[in-house]
Structure 1
Amino acid sequence: MKNGKRRMRQLLAVLAICGIGGLSALPIGRATAAQPASDKQRADIVTIDEMKAYGKLSQPTVAFLHDKHTTALGKQKDFYKKECGTCHLSNKDGVMQLGYMSEGKPVSGEKLRDNYHNNCISCHKDMAAAGQKTGPTDVQCKGCHNATPDVASNWQPIVVDKRLHYRHAATQEKADNKCGACHHIFSEKTGKTAPAPKPEEVPGSCSYCHGEKTTVVENRQPKEIRSLRLAAHGECVTCHKATAAAGKDVPTGPVTCAGCHGPLDQKAIAETSLKKVPQGADLRIKRGQPDYAMVRPAEVQTSLAVAGKPYAGMPAVPFDHKYHEAKSETCVSCHHAALSSCSAKCHTPAGVKEGGFVTLEGAMHNVGATQSCAGCHAVVQKKPECAGCHDAMQKGIGGVDKCGSCHVPGDAALQEAMTSMMAKPASADTAAAEADLAKKLLAGKRDATTTFPAEDIPQTVTIGSLSKDYEPSVLPHRQIVQAMLDGMKDSKLAGAFHATDAAVCQGCHHNSPASKTPPRCGNCHQAVETTAASARPALKAAYHNQCMGCHKAMGIEGKVVSKAPGAKPVPAATDCAGCHKEKKK
């Protein structure tokens, strides 16, 4: 516990430090980043462009390679004596200022320029005098100010997914307050940030408080909140350094740019997580959330009188929260601004300023936003096994006949319970009853996609109504249906939305009534092409769009996908003879 408390004090000290300026450099310590595949693609490029705050730049910005510099400095004989102090000043209390050679106070543009020129060039000269490889030592501007640097950034944001979170939490298993090692809240009593005392008091993602930029708001506590970049570097890197200092062989995390943000290193982190996290481990991040919930307006909805009975409008949506958690990497996947209910403060039926006037209906149905239900489902529909049908379909909520897929009405008793629920505001007191109602409503949903018995599905379908220069096309109908089912067999989402046996059929028979014996394509698409405007393509175009469009969307054209002996590749879009044998003349 002593080590844990000492590390906590170090972390909290960094909280105070990082609000002052940008985190520009960190010591390399014993940890080093994996070597990039190419020095031209790097994750450590820091663009030095502060002078633009003083007016138009007279020289191009500087592409500063942070890891390259810290690695070079780490090889110096007495580097351990200065470490970060090589480039960063400290105040009388030993607190490091995060700006380059800056005390954290505003300076003139001239002094800022001289800071870089004098210190960088003198450091290069000292290394050159010692016979060491170094950077530019002359005063030619282009040595550093290069408008076309020969390096490019491959920097990627790092996501603390559930496995990485599990690994971090495991290091605090013996601590009295393991969540508080990373998560903090503002204490009104002390006027400072303090460790979150309980899991249910954790605010959630760092991004809920720490935005893209440091914010200063009067009459708010705390008045200043660091940017996410400063907060993350301050917390994570300081902890990794402190852990490394605790013992020579103590495993710790990266302290370099590439260590967290390089593609190769991120791949290594993911692979390590798969090895370190036990199979079957409970990855759920517990914040007092329910297993089931009802997605509904938080406030009371006044019922209308319809046929003498109360009608509260569109039924609320029963939601399997635990299942969706398992399918998401982080809580932010859905709760993008706060862990609280979407409809409590941000997305009301009418929309409010706090939520950008995005209504609850808009938030749930916005197909362009991955945080929304419809948007997230649309992303899943882009998977190859789904795209064959969904690529050509309308994105989003579709027609009103599709509403019942989510807004499950239930039987008479459940409908009555729904009306009663909507007459009360959503609160902690109603959560248990709402969870129970959601569970009952979802009990009737399918968990897997099924269709008609195999004997009811034609083995082949011969398409020959347009046969002229080519033989009729013989479609391996049953094989295609089975391949589609195989692609969806592990998807509970597909099972819930393919609610009938005929749903799979409508991927091809898209605008006809759901039936075991749907009408022929020629019943709707005319065989003869005309110049008359029509929303429906002619029959040949309909066949080609549907078949070739599916092959392209699923990425299977030109590939052998069937496991049957002697199977041939799925025809490419330009391979006429792949579907139609050429007639003998």
Structure 2
Amino acid sequence: MKPLRYPYRFVGALAAFVLLSAIPANALGVLDYVYSVREGGTVVFSHDKHFKALFPNKTINGDDCITCHSTIYKSHGKRPVTMSEMYSGRSCGACHGKRAFSLSKCGRCHTVKDVSFRVQPTGDVIFPHAAHISKIQCDVCHPRLFKPSRNRSVGMAQMEKGKSCGACHKGKIAFALEDCSRCHLAGNVLMKARKPWEVNFRHAAHLPAYKCVDCHPRVFKLGYEKSRPRMTMQDMDKGKSCGACHDDQVAFSTRFNCQRCHDNM
């Protein structure tokens, strides 16, 4: 797998870095580097954390700074270093992957957050990075499946062919795509009715017994509440809409059980 290629751009301004061997570290005035990464979020380089890791139980002085300066980092203001170059041992790669954690542990440096996908008509889908990186490494998905930036929308049909989330969500590595409600938030659907009263369809009451694909899209098209034709009880008696299941065989009949769906009866 090819390493990630993130161009690093220096943003934060630093106080003058004075290498004086007699001055302790807390008096050096060494600040953190803040890098704005075009594809991958902000990266903050903490001098304090690195001092403690490199020199545990030791009073830091200016001479210790040459561990990285001027061997790895000769001067500031140079061109950004890519991840590909880091994998070759430059910049952070001089230590990470050898004497420190691997560069593939992206979340330890790059700020990762949840990603919200606008999906019509089922509503937003929230991708939780934390839940995924606790089980797999970032390079499992990036950049082979997802570029670390804005990606083109992928439909469920393409996912079923193994693209995007479908590369893992097949039922073995991760739960199958058919478990729609684990990503798509299925709430209640208010179905208006003149007589006797409106019906509040509760997904939560149906999902334990049925899968989403049992109803969608064969019986109810997604976005059905906005474009559905008006259904009568006679239509349901003929197997349409709720009557596809509520036939007194799969589920209780729509006939003579009005109070089980219609409120305020």
Q: TM-score, normalised by structure 1?
A: 0.15
Q: Which protein is richer in helix relative to its size?
A: 1
Q: TM-score, normalised by structure 2?
A: 0.28
Tell me which structure has the larger Cα radius of gyration. 1
